[in-house]
Amino acid sequence: MPINRLAMTIYKIKNLGDSMVKISPSVLTSDFLTLGDSIKKLEDAGVDMLHLDVMDGIFVPNISFGLPVIKSIKAHTKLPLDVHLMIDRPHRYIEEFAKYADLLGFHYEAGSDNEETLRKIRELGCKSCITIKPATAAEEIFPLLPLCDMVLVMSVEPGFGGQKFMPVALDKIKAIKVECERQGLSVDIEVDGGINAQTAPLAVAAGANVLVAGNYLFSADDMSARVKEIKNL
């Protein structure tokens, strides 16, 4: 899809509801030797937050980074930190990550007491997020929606960047959007995986208002221009 059509699609959809489209760039695909410079460029480009993928090599078959890196990032940016825990039994680490996260999310499938974990995140002063894998039905998290500030729908299998967008995510986004409206809830819907000029308008049309972009931003010669194209500011 040409980028001008992408911008027009997002512009029209943004004006149908109360929430503007937000961009949460994933730093997982960045060059960590120049991460500080990349974050500065993203700040200048007007992104809304930073998406930080924490992987433990158990819940997902990959290891990324943890608290020391997040603590360092927190000290050098004013952008909110959107921390995505892809770890086993995340309830064990909520208190530590809450010290640095602005929005703290974990996987529905990760073996926690999901209700209690969501409550604890809020008690610790963070916004709460529940995340679902591509194989998890949207309906499974409906009872948890009143405890969520955001829901993250994975449009790829969690664990690695650079995967292709899975269209099954679109029906889930639609279903979650409808259920939030039915329950009278104001919940952000985030989508993560394979977001680019072709898939971003599809996700937004389905009801997502927070887009996680990794390779699409960090592979660009001009990240600022690409952010502006997506957001259509």
Note the pLDDT of residue 229: 77
End-to-end alpha-carbon separation of the chain, Å? 19
Active site annotation includes 82 = no
Reported as a single tens digit per residue, the pLDDT across 7-55 is: 333 333 333 334 488 999 999 888 889 999 989 989 998 999 999 999 9
pTM: 0.89
Note the pLDDT of residue 110: 95
C-alpha span between 39 and 231 (Å, rounded):
18
Reported as a single tens digit per residue, the pLDDT across 43-99 is: 998 999 999 999 999 999 999 999 999 999 999 999 999 999 999 999 999 999 999
In this prediction, residues 119-145 reach a mean pLDDT of 98
pLDDT confidence band for 212 (50 / 70 / 90): very high
Contact between 210 and 175 under an 8 Å Cβ cutoff? The reply is: no
Contact between 154 and 130 under an 8 Å Cβ cutoff? The reply is: no
Q: H or E segment at 81?
A: strand 81-86
Contact between 229 and 21 under an 8 Å Cβ cutoff? The reply is: no
Note the pLDDT of residue 53: 96
Note the pLDDT of residue 17: 39
- Helices 223-231 and 35-45 pack at an angle, to 10 degrees, of 40
User: Which two tokens mark 143?
Assistant: 């009872």
Note the pLDDT of residue 227: 82
For 41, 65, 71, 231, the CA distances from 77, given in Å and listed in that order, are 11, 18, 10, 21
Note the pLDDT of residue 72: 95
* Set 48, 149, 188, 192: catalytic member: 192
DSSP 80: P
Give burial (CB, 10 Å; 0-12/13-18/19+) of 73.
Answer: buried
In this prediction, residues 182-198 reach a mean pLDDT of 95
Domains and CATH numbers, the chain: 26-190 (3.20.20.70)
Reported as a single tens digit per residue, the pLDDT across 146-169 is: 999 999 999 999 887 667 899 999
* Set 48, 53, 56, 149: catalytic member: 53
Note the pLDDT of residue 161: 66
Active site annotation includes 31 = no
Note the pLDDT of residue 12: 37
Question: DSSP string of 14-61?
Answer: HTTSSPPPEE--BGGGS-GGGHHHHHHHHHHHT---EEEEEEBSSSSS
Question: DSSP string of 147-190?
Answer: G-SEEEEESS-TT-SSPPP-THHHHHHHHHHHHHHHHT---EEE
Q: Which residues contact 88 (CB under 8 A, 6 or more apart)?
A: 56, 58, 59, 110, 111
Note the pLDDT of residue 162: 67
How many degrees, rounded to 5, is the angle at CA 209 between CA 77 and CA 184? Answer: 115
C-alpha span between 38 and 42 (Å, rounded):
6
